[in-house]
């Protein structure tokens, strides 16, 4: 496939080209909690250079007793944030029956780690022409990850962005083990853009900037980062969310790395 598309496929999300010379950063809160939280975060991350806004309206959590998301209300809030800032929206689709509702607001559908082999969902987004941000399953080999992408493409939608987000190993010092070996391999095996999620890949706020730099140095085309105005009060993943100031600092460092690799931000 590389041969056919020498420079790599560009996947356009709203007005942002993913997979080109420019490193793109998608940022925002783990979960949509309130209009105020989302819009203020969107403004901060945009000012710091983020090009797309992330935020979950439906939250697939292991325990049935924790916060499960604002659902349709959350989607509407994301829509308001887009109106307010112009940032395109990346948000997770968890259920094929939500395709229309989520599709009303999402500039790209995110398929989460736990759903990487939810073939129903892959087939559904494969039948749309909307960009798909496909996260690697925490238990998926690179080969299985590529099969999941092929499943989407087989339905006609090849606007796929691959996302390495850490795998499950015996190590318990971090939430997951970010597998940066996967970045050059995925770039080699496909023509698709490859981004990295160091927030889930580490699970710890202070580690995120280190691994964000490393991801870009390894050749990633972008990053997806959790940012929260007040992580200690976050309803979801507060431990791994950057504070706005941390994010601004991280963006400066990543930009410097991008520069020496001949890339822009």
Q: Which residues are at the interface with a copy of itself (CB under 8 A)?
A: 60, 62-65, 94-97, 114-115, 117-120, 137-139, 141-144, 147, 150-151, 154, 167-174, 177-185, 188, 201-202, 206-207, 210-211, 213-219, 256-257, 259-261
To a copy of itself, the closest distance from the beta carbon of 116 in angstroms equals 9
Looking at beta carbons only, is 4 or 260 nearer to a copy of itself? 260
Looking at beta carbons only, is 60 or 79 nearer to a copy of itself? 60
The residues facing 161 across adjacent strands are: 133
Helix, strand, coil percent values for the chain (each to nearest 5): 40, 20, 40
Report the C-alpha gap between 87 and 105 in whole angstroms.
Answer: 12
To a copy of itself, the closest distance from the beta carbon of 252 in angstroms equals 10
Report the C-alpha gap between 236 and 145 in whole angstroms.
Answer: 26
Looking at beta carbons only, is 13 or 25 nearer to a copy of itself? 25
Looking at beta carbons only, is 47 or 206 nearer to a copy of itself? 206
Pairing of strands 222-226, 24-28: parallel
Name 252's Cβ contacts closer than 8 Å, sequence gap at least 6.
none
Which residue bears the tokens 């790209």?
A: 108
Looking at beta carbons only, is 29 or 69 nearer to a copy of itself? 69
Looking at beta carbons only, is 44 or 215 nearer to a copy of itself? 215
**Start-to-end Cα distance in the chain:** 26
To a copy of itself, the closest distance from the beta carbon of 86 in angstroms equals 30
To a copy of itself, the closest distance from the beta carbon of 96 in angstroms equals 7
Closest CA to 263 of 44, 14, 22: 22
To a copy of itself, the closest distance from the beta carbon of 255 in angstroms equals 9
The residues facing 137 across adjacent strands are: none
To a copy of itself, the closest distance from the beta carbon of 84 in angstroms equals 31
Rg (CA), the chain: 17
């Amino acid at each position: 496939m590389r041969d056919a598309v020498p420079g790599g496929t560009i996947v356009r999300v709203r007005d942002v080209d993913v997979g080109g010379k420019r490193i793109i950063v998608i940022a925002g809160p783990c979960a949509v909690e309130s209009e105020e939280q989302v819009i203020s975060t969107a403004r901060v991350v945009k000012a710091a250079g983020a090009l797309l806004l992330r935020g979950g309206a439906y939250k697939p959590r292991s325990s049935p007793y924790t916060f499960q998301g604002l659902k349709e209300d959350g989607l509407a809030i994301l829509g308001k944030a887009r109106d307010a800032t112009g940032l395109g929206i990346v948000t997770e689709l968890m259920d094929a029956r939500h395709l229309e509702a989520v599709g009303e607001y999402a500039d790209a559908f995110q398929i989460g780690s736990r759903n990487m082999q939810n073939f129903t969902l892959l087939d559904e987004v494969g039948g749309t022409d909307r960009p798909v941000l496909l996260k690697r399953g925490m238990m998926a080999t690179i080969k299985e990850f590529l099969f999941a992408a092929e499943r989407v493409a087989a339905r006609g939608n090849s606007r796929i962005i691959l996302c390495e987000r850490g795998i499950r190993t015996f190590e318990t010092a971090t939430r997951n083990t970010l597998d940066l070996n996967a970045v050059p391999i995925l770039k080699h095996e496909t023509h698709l853009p490859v981004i990295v999620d160091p927030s889930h890949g580490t699970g710890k706020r202070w580690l995120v900037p280190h691994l964000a730099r490393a991801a870009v140095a390894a050749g990633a085309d972008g990053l997806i980062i959790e940012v929260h105005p007040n992580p200690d009060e976050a309803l979801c993943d507060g431990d791994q969310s950057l504070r706005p100031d941390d994010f601004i600092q991280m963006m400066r460092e990543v930009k410097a790395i991008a520069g020496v690799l001949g890339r822009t931000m």
